[in-house]
Structure 1
Amino acid sequence: MHSPAYYCARPFVEGLMRAHAPQRQLRVLDVQPLPVDSSASILAVLTAGQTSRPVGHFGLQVTFEMDGQPARTERMVLKLKPPGHEVSAMLAGLAQACGGELAQTYPAFAARSGFHHTHHRELALYAHHADAALMPRIWGLHQDDETAEVYAILMEYLGEQVELLNTVMQPEAWTDAHLRAALDELAAWHARHLLPAGTDAAPVTWPDLPSAAYMQQLTPLWQALLANAAQHHSGLYGPARAELLREAIARIPEYWAELAAAPRTLIHNDLNPRNTCFRRAADGRLQLCAYDWELATYHVPQYDVVELLSFVLDADRYHLRPHYLEYYRQQLHARTGRFADAEAFRRVTGLAALDFGLHRLGMYLMAHAVGPYPYLPRVVDSYFDTLAQLQPLRPEPAYA
């Protein structure tokens, strides 16, 4: 197994760039290290301590010639990803450290909790959507399943030239202008990848795609994650909140009958200030950039918005949540013509929030019990305000 220096050296970087743009005449002249902060990448940071393979983000300053043009220098980041089975093993270790019901339950579901295919998923997303405005520029991809299990992404360096990079601890930095720009870009992405009406099957075969069957089969895991949150974080998951999510688990067959009938799209599934920033266009317009697509999946488009607003709306802005949800609906409907019913849209948003709480927040709280994340308590509070506003467990007509 090679050291990080091997992958950061000129020959490997040149190979990545040439393979990514085979039609170009390209030669890398020099590669120099560049400091980069990778602390926001939770999976890479946690797994790095559990593996002997090179894992993490490595900043590079790459000087190269392309198509006979004068040499240019670009800042890039080389992301070396752990294989998904190592991520799953790391998370299983966290479950064991939590003890109790979760330690007993998690092993049976470790490969289905959404993390076992992260290495293939992110590379596939970047390969098929390399020119998407919502994504960082990709300079090269490398996938080695057979020998060293090396998964590399060479992408643009998101540094001084962007705004709100890793602002998970500064939600107040997300102004109304930033939120509207983010919702505009999300609506455009979700509209572009919305499954056609009457289509049940997503165009991928990931075994952990959300569905009624998936959510019901993993019921023991959702119960164990909730019990763990209530045990270790009773200040956040008091009796009323815990009971609310217990009821949600019991009603998975009922509420997923509605979700299954709602339009689905390709979602980021980890959309929050740890994985986003903004560029400024030449005309001053803000443009959202989302990275770390390793958890991407197919779900209702509202799911990404539920997560984003849970992360960036503190108590002083809870009252704006309905305003932003309606703004996003209008943008999505303008692009698709499929979301005219505002009440039905709110209904499905609330149901998506139930899934987010049972799955993603449950996993967050598992990790939080072992190594606290200082931003998580306010995210949990904001999330439960989402449920309080949308009342998804209140009987409503099925989504039409």
Structure 2
Amino acid sequence: MHSAAHYCSAAFIEELMQAHAPERGIRVHEVSPLPLDNSASILVVLTAGQTNRPVGHFGLRVTFEADGQLLTRDMVLKLKPPGREVSAMLTSLAQACGGELAAVYPAYAARTGFFHTHQRELQVYAEHGAAALMPTIWGLHHDQAHDVHAILMEYLADVELLNSVMAPEHWTDEHLRATLVQLAEWHAAHLQPGHSRTVWPDQPSEEYMQALAPLWEALLGNAATHFPELYGPAHVADLQQAIGAIPEYWAELAAHPKTLVHNDLNPRNTCFRRTSLGLQLCAYDWELATYHVPQYDVVELLSFVLDADRYHLRPVYLEFYRQHLHALTGLFPNAEEFNHIAGLAALDFGLHRLGMYMMAHTVSPYPFLPRVVQSYFNTLSQLQPLRSQAQVAQAS
């Protein structure tokens, strides 16, 4: 197994860059380290302590020749742990939580969305890396035999709201509207009416959500046990009702268009470039990307950036996003139906992603998470997806 120094060497960086742009005749002359804070990458921080392979983000200043021109660019080399190591780390967190979650989790460890993270992020960048809302990708390296999974991307400098998860108030109306416009463009470009193709084995579906129902119960029980101030009886009852309603609400979701969603879209994985045309969203860390209704990303983002003083703006931003998505696709004319599907997407987000967040929070607290949970439950209060499901159940 090679050391981090090998992967940060001029020879390896040249190999990545040349393979990514073979027509440019790239030759790397010098690579020097740059300081970089890894703490924002939760999976890397947690997994690094449980593997002997080099993982993490390495800042590099790269001087290279391309097309006969000498250039210097700041880059980040991301060495990803294999998904099985991430899954093993998460299993250890579940066992540290104790109770039902410790007993239930191992059976589902490979199905919670993390087992294929090393493949998924590279695949997304390989297929879509030139998109405006992506960071510049300089190289990709996927060596399954030796479990080396590397992404060489731009060093995000001179950007706004980088790692701003602790400062949601800095997300102004300008930032939010720019994000929603550009998300609508992304989601419209990747929309698949009706049933989307199955790309990854842990892609959400009625079958997937129902098969993992014991895990959703255990995650909810863990959150309620350790954080009763956040997961009070009424909230727990709502999410238990949601678990029981998976077949009904997914029967609705299955009939609606799916798109490629980031599935981790929040201020930990986003920043902005200020350009002559205005703010440009940059979304990175696509390792959890999947196919879901387009509202899913918006539900997550608003849960992260809207505190109590801006809860009243949630329907305003949802409607702003719907109008842009409809203008691009012609598929979302009905605001009431659009918000209903957003509410059903919120059920998935609460059962799965928030449940996993709370599992990690039990062992290693995340200061940002309590306000996100509170904002999420306000989402359910505003959109009332469970009331709709109760009506469906009565009608049947």
Question: Normalization by structure 1: what TM-score?
Answer: 0.97
Amino acid in the other structure paired with 2:252: E
Equivalent-residue separation in structure 2 for 1:295 and 1:26 (angstroms): 31
Residues 44-69 of structure 1, C-alpha deviation per residue, up to 9 Å, x if partnerless? Answer: 11000110000000000000111112
> Which segments of 5 or more consecutive residues in structure 1 lack a partner in the other structure?
none
1:94 match: 93
Equivalent-residue separation in structure 2 for 1:395 and 1:173 (angstroms): 34
1:378 correspondence with 2:371: yes
1:116 correspondence with 2:109: no
> Which segments of 5 or more consecutive residues in structure 2 lack a partner in the other structure?
none
Once the 2 structures are TM-superposed, how far is the Cα of residue 127 of structure 1 from its aligned partner? 0.4
Equivalent-residue separation in structure 2 for 1:129 and 1:206 (angstroms): 16
More moved, 388-397 vs 247-256: 388-397
2:185 match: 188
Other structure's SS at 2:188 match: helix
Equivalent-residue separation in structure 1 for 2:388 and 2:289 (angstroms): 30
2:131 match: 132
Selected match of 2:172 from 172, 175, 182: 175
2:154 match: 156
Residues 92-137 of structure 1, C-alpha deviation per residue, up to 9 Å, x if partnerless? Answer: 0000000000000000000001100000000000001121111100
1:239 correspondence with 2:233: yes
2:163 match: 166
Higher helix share: 2
Amino acid in the other structure paired with 2:108: F
1:51 match: 51
The answer to whether the Cα contact below 8 Å between 2:196 and 2:258 also exists between their aligned partners in 1 is no
Equivalent-residue separation in structure 2 for 1:37 and 1:23 (angstroms): 33
Other structure's SS at 1:319 match: helix
Amino acid in the other structure paired with 1:151: H
Q: How does 1:347-386 map to 2 (within 5 A)?
A: 347-386=340-379
Amino acid in the other structure paired with 1:67: D
Amino acid in the other structure paired with 1:191: A
Amino acid in the other structure paired with 1:62: V
1:17 match: 17
The answer to whether the Cα contact below 8 Å between 2:196 and 2:259 also exists between their aligned partners in 1 is no
1:277 match: 271
Equivalent-residue separation in structure 2 for 1:337 and 1:289 (angstroms): 26
2:253 match: 259
Once the 2 structures are TM-superposed, how far is the Cα of residue 394 of structure 1 from its aligned partner? 1.1
Once the 2 structures are TM-superposed, how far is the Cα of residue 281 of structure 1 from its aligned partner? 1.4
1:293 correspondence with 2:291: no
Aligned residues: CA RMSD: 1.0
Equivalent-residue separation in structure 2 for 1:143 and 1:395 (angstroms): 45
Selected match of 1:340 from 308, 316, 333: 333
Once the 2 structures are TM-superposed, how far is the Cα of residue 265 of structure 1 from its aligned partner? 0.3
Residues 205-257 of structure 1, C-alpha deviation per residue, up to 9 Å, x if partnerless? Answer: 31101000000000000000000000011111011111110000011111111
Equivalent-residue separation in structure 1 for 2:372 and 2:152 (angstroms): 31
Runs of 4+ that moved beyond 2 A: 395-398
